[in-house]
Amino acid sequence: MVKLSVVGILAGLDEEALTDVERHINRKNFSAGAQMIEPEADSSDVYLILSGRVRIVNYSLSGREITLEEIGAGGCVGQLSAIDGQPRSACVFAVDDTEVAILSPANFETVVKSHPSVGWNVIRELARIVRTSTRRIVDVSTLGANERVVAEIMRRAQQVSDDTGAAVLSPVPVHSEIAGRVSTSRETVARVMGSLGRKGLVNKVDNGLHVPDVRRLEEFLSESIH
């Protein structure tokens, strides 16, 4: 049985507190592809991801699907409705087989208010989402689709670049996942990645996508924009 201690927002709780939280959750398993949260359902439960991976998607007024985020083991989804009592803002699907611990909104609020460290963890997690969202709003408001793909690869490379200015994104980013993240089509991502490959800015290696010189990628993007 996966321990609750894998969950990021519960970090800092001692054994006794974790045992107490354990009494207030329901464990549930979802198969890959299953819908875990649907906007229409009248539920405000919080889902703590114990294992597996989930995708949060939203739909435009015209019905187009937009991937907001993918979240793996240790993450948390569904907290917005538990916090503000408003309807679900998005759908959540299991990408892989996924085990979750489900917390009712009342129990979520109790845990947050009884443990200052959990409250602070939730605040940090929401701040992370706000930063990511802000970056995306600015990108999608001001960059073309091709440039957003390059910017996404560039940012991921910047986060893992080594002393020599090279980076390996491992595993190789999935085109459909990048497409969802930057609000474009898989075909556009494939075309841009092909073009970056031909320019020698990225190349596939055994364990991932190799970016030999992150700085050159930054310059390439900067030239495309100005």
Q: Which residues of this protein are in contact with a copy of itself, per CB under 8 A?
A: 58-62, 64, 66, 68, 79-80, 83-84, 86, 89-90, 109, 112-114, 116-117, 119-120, 122-124, 126-131, 133-143, 147, 151, 183, 221-222, 225-226
Phi and psi at 180, nearest 5°, equal -60, -40
User: From residue 177, how far is each of 184, 187, 196 by CA, in Å?
Assistant: 10, 12, 18
Instruction: Tell me the closest approach of the beta carbon of residue 7 to a copy of itself, in angstroms.
Output: 17
Smallest distance from a copy of itself to CB 127, Å: 4
CB closer to a copy of itself out of 45 and 147: 147
- For the CB of residue 112, give the shortest distance to a copy of itself in the complex, in Å: 7
Give me the least distance between CB of 17 and a copy of itself, in Å please. Answer: 15
Beta carbon nearer to a copy of itself, 183 or 195 = 183
**Is the CB of 111 or the CB of 168 nearer to a copy of itself?**
111
Here the contacts of 33-37 (C-beta below 8 Å, separation 24 or greater) are 33/93, 33/94, 34/93, 34/94, 35/91, 35/92, 35/93, 36/77, 36/92, 36/93, 36/94, 36/98, 36/100, 37/77, 37/78, 37/88, 37/90, 37/91, 37/92
Closer residue to a copy of itself (CB): 5 or 117 = 117
Nearer to a copy of itself, 41 or 126 (CB): 126
Compute the least distance from the CB of residue 60 to a copy of itself, in Å.
3
State the minimum distance, in angstroms, from the CB of residue 42 to a copy of itself: 18
Q: Which is nearer to a copy of itself, 59 or 174 (CB)?
A: 59
Q: Cis bond leading into 212, ω under 30°?
A: no
